[in-house]
Amino acid sequence: MRSPMILLALAAIASPATAARPVELPAPPAERLDVTRAAAVAANYGAITSIFRSVEHNRAVGGVANSYHLQGRAIDVVRRPGVSHSMIAAALQRAGYVMVESLDEGDHSHFAFATTSIASKRPEITIAAAMVKQPDKPKYPDIVADEHGTLRIDLPAAQLAER
């Protein structure tokens, strides 16, 4: 049995009236967050000092009781010289991570993430019509040379009027 999306796509191909209209595909299932991949992105900008923490370790380092580190959803990065907090945040966003916390702690950057990445962007497919009218060729004026091989368009206007 064909799915409704495939039938819709086939109908768009067969009908010129619907040609060149985007066909929406169902969104892929949201991906589970993989903080180690986010840490790999951030590691290009400094040293990763914390990802998952036990309750005991979180208490020992002065972490808050509801820290995202306890769920394995946060990373701390000690930035290399010349690297700003916003540079790391931008790289994580470009990689598709949704941040729920982005804190410049002075000596390090702290990032906490939503439970999924934004990998659920819907792909868009455009189906174009098979019969496309080609544009007319541009019309250029005829170029004629005189008996000496001088092109008429190269002649001064007074000489052009004589000929």
**What's the pLDDT at 92?**
94
- What is the overall mean pLDDT for the chain? 74
User: Which residue is listed with tokens 């455009």?
Assistant: 126
How do residues 143-161 score in pLDDT, each as one tens digit? 666 666 656 555 566 665 6
In this structure, the strands spanning 109-113 and 124-126 are: unpaired
Is residue 26 over pLDDT 50?
Answer: no
Is residue 13 over pLDDT 50?
Answer: no
Is residue 91 over pLDDT 80?
Answer: yes
All residues at 6 or more sequence positions from 54 whose CB lies less than 8 Å from its CB, including other chains: 70
How do residues 43-76 score in pLDDT, each as one tens digit? 999 999 999 999 999 999 999 999 999 999 999 9
Is residue 19 over pLDDT 70?
Answer: no
Is 49:149 a contact under the CB 8 Å cutoff?
Answer: no
**What's the pLDDT at 43?**
95
Is residue 86 over pLDDT 90?
Answer: yes
Burial 58-88 (b: 16+ CB within 10 A, else e): beeeebeeebbbbeebbbbbebeeebebeeb
Is 80:108 a contact under the CB 8 Å cutoff?
Answer: no
How do residues 104-140 score in pLDDT, each as one tens digit? 999 999 999 987 655 445 445 555 555 666 777 776 6
Of 126, 133, 129, the closest CA to residue 16 belongs to 129
Domains of the chain with CATH codes? 30-113 (3.30.1380.10)
- Which DSSP letter does residue 145 get? B
Q: Whole-prediction pTM value?
A: 0.54
Dihedral angle sign, alpha carbons of residues 84, 111, 33, 114: negative
**What's the pLDDT at 136?**
77
